[in-house]
Structure 1
Amino acid sequence: MNDIGDTARQKLRVVRFLSAGAAHARPAAGRGTVLLDGGERGTISASLGALSALAREGLVAEAGGLLSLSQEGRALAMRDRHPQEPFRAQHLELGTRMVAMEGGEQVVPANLAESPLAQLARRRVRGGQPFLEEGEFRAGERLRADYTRGQIMPRLGANWSEAVASGQRGSSENGIADLTDAALAARRRVDDALTAVGPELAGVLIDVCCFLKGLEKVEMERAWPARSAKVVLKAALGALCRHYEPQPRARRRTILHWGAEGYRPSLR
């Protein structure tokens, strides 16, 4: 029993180490032991028995001397990382986000794979810079938070030309009479934001930030050319960011008039 328990602990140790990246397998001085070299992450020792068991179970794969976790191994690592919700965690990409709440910003747990905006924020352009600026990402998340807080639940085929605060976009059970002051204020903030960006850009913000539609789905529904949705979305997020975080206007430069001494006419 002790050997079984020790092997299980070693297997989990290897899975945790490889969850941060692949590692080179190198010979160790001890018999029946190998070293897993993760580069800057350091080196750990692992028994051949634990590695063989992981390989038999399909949790670890080897290619060109590199050991890495398989898809099943990554799922195991996610379950180990979130013991309170292990089987939910293996299907999610859990992380944290800063969300604007009443009274300030708050860090909340989030599924980073859920939001197409979060996936787009992780993309890099050719020069290595992120495709979305931090302010653009914050603006999209802020719109989504207000949209959710405002309990805006549009029916199929809703008319987006109606103002959000009027309650016409939602169902009859979700009218103004049933809204709290906080929800009503959130609806007004959404309405102000969409008005600020204009009708040409409001639709893609609602689709991606609030309805969590993928970019390809948006392009298909709107009959847009391929890879055009992310360009329009970035322009919309830029306008939304300027609405939420307006930049101070540059001060006007004072025009100075210089003259030689005694250039003013004398008054008699």
Structure 2
Amino acid sequence: MREDGAARQRQMVRLVRLVAGGATLIRDGGDGATVLVGRAGEAGRPVARALPDAACALGLLVRSGDTLRATPQARAFLRRALLSAETQFQDQHRDIEQQNRPVEGLRQSVRVNLAESPLAAMARLKEKSGVLFLDAVALDAGLRLHADFTRGQLQPQLTMRYEPRLAGKSKGAGGVADLCDSAVAARGRVRAAVEAIGPELSGVALDICCFEKGLETVERERQWPVRSAKLMLRAALMALARHYAPPPTRARRTAWGDDGFRPDRTAAVTRRPAAGR
């Protein structure tokens, strides 16, 4: 039944494309089961006899006698159908999963390609005990760093820029004068995050979360031992998570020996009871 529905959908798309492309005449196919749709003077293409009526019922076509005409809804229908077909083809080479991710400060349900980012692939790694190697807090910290890095337009540009440049702007691509306020703010957040992680761990966080290098590539470039990059990355993301969500601070109690502490001598001196009492 599912295959019959998919075949009927393909036939509907073909019919709507024919009519939208100028095939407006419909004639009897001669076999009782099909009709011919084509331009004047052409043989036409056979389609199921009930298909034009179904397209008209959906509001995709309008029929007047032997003439068919596409409605404005037909173009939107074709765009959705072609986009769905392209997505299905691309999904054959992807590892798609529906996840809740932070988007512009709010968590939303999005489709994530786990085969695209090394950080997404690491989200499925587990310890020998079965516990996830990266917890949700550390993973969200890495994704937030990547989002700010992208929003700040810090990726290396490998293609030529063809847009016209106005006089008075700073020279070179990616100048601060060319950025909007949100991109400048994102660059500031990336700078603060790198400082919070520290110089020892910030490099591996940028390589994997932002430049999306694989663990093996990072270990080879930095001449690290095998399976050490993921340990360094986890330490970096834990520090980054504390930067994004600092732990609550407890009220500090004054103790003896602290700078500025002076005991109240009057409270320490006990008065002797008066004689005769």
TM-score (norm 2): 0.56
- Residue in 2 that maps onto 1:230: 230
- Residue in 1 that maps onto 2:213: 213
- Residue in 1 that maps onto 2:183: 183
What is the identity, as a one-letter code, of the residue corresponding to 1:190? V
Of 148, 151, 154 in structure 2, the residue corresponding to residue 152 of structure 1 is 154
Matches within 5 A, 1:1-268: 85-154=87-156, 172-252=172-252, 265-266=270-271
What is the identity, as a one-letter code, of the residue corresponding to 1:200? E
Question: Is contact 2:155-2:211 (8 Å) kept?
Answer: no
Cα deviation code 1:189-216 (max 9, x no counterpart):
0000001111111111111001111100
Instruction: Please say which structure displays the higher CA radius of gyration.
Output: 2
Instruction: Report the secondary structure of 2:201's partner residue.
Output: helix
What is the identity, as a one-letter code, of the residue corresponding to 2:238? G
Instruction: Report the secondary structure of 1:95's partner residue.
Output: strand
Cα deviation code 1:142-190 (max 9, x no counterpart):
000000111112379xxxxxxxxxxxxxx92111111111111111100
- Structure 1 unpaired stretches of 5+: 10-81, 157-170, 256-262
Instruction: Report the secondary structure of 2:200's partner residue.
Output: helix
Q: Measured at CA, do residues 245 and 93 of structure 1 come closer, stay the same or move farther in structure 2, by a change above 3 Å? A: same
Instruction: Report the secondary structure of 2:150's partner residue.
Output: helix
Q: Measured at CA, do residues 197 and 124 of structure 1 come closer, stay the same or move farther in structure 2, by a change above 3 Å? A: same
Question: Is contact 2:127-2:133 (8 Å) kept?
Answer: yes
Q: Measured at CA, do residues 181 and 205 of structure 1 come closer, stay the same or move farther in structure 2, by a change above 3 Å? A: same
Cα distance in structure 2, aligned partners of 1:225 and 1:172: 39
Q: Measured at CA, do residues 245 and 223 of structure 1 come closer, stay the same or move farther in structure 2, by a change above 3 Å? A: same
Question: Is contact 2:205-2:236 (8 Å) kept?
Answer: yes
Following superposition, the deviation at residue 242 of structure 1 comes to 0.6
Question: Is contact 2:152-2:185 (8 Å) kept?
Answer: yes
Q: Measured at CA, do residues 201 and 138 of structure 1 come closer, stay the same or move farther in structure 2, by a change above 3 Å? A: same
Cα deviation code 1:68-118 (max 9, x no counterpart):
xxxxxxxxxxxxxx7561111111111234443435333332212211111
Cα distance in structure 2, aligned partners of 1:111 and 1:246: 30
Residues paired across the two proteins, number: 173
What is the identity, as a one-letter code, of the residue corresponding to 2:207? D
Instruction: Report the secondary structure of 2:93's partner residue.
Output: coil
Question: Is contact 2:96-2:114 (8 Å) kept?
Answer: yes
Following superposition, the deviation at residue 264 of structure 1 comes to 7.3
Question: Is contact 1:97-1:107 (8 Å) kept?
Answer: yes
Instruction: Report the secondary structure of 1:216's partner residue.
Output: helix
Which shifted more, 232-241 or 107-116?
107-116
Q: Measured at CA, do residues 103 and 215 of structure 1 come closer, stay the same or move farther in structure 2, by a change above 3 Å? A: closer
Q: Over aligned residues, Cα RMSD in angstroms?
A: 3.0
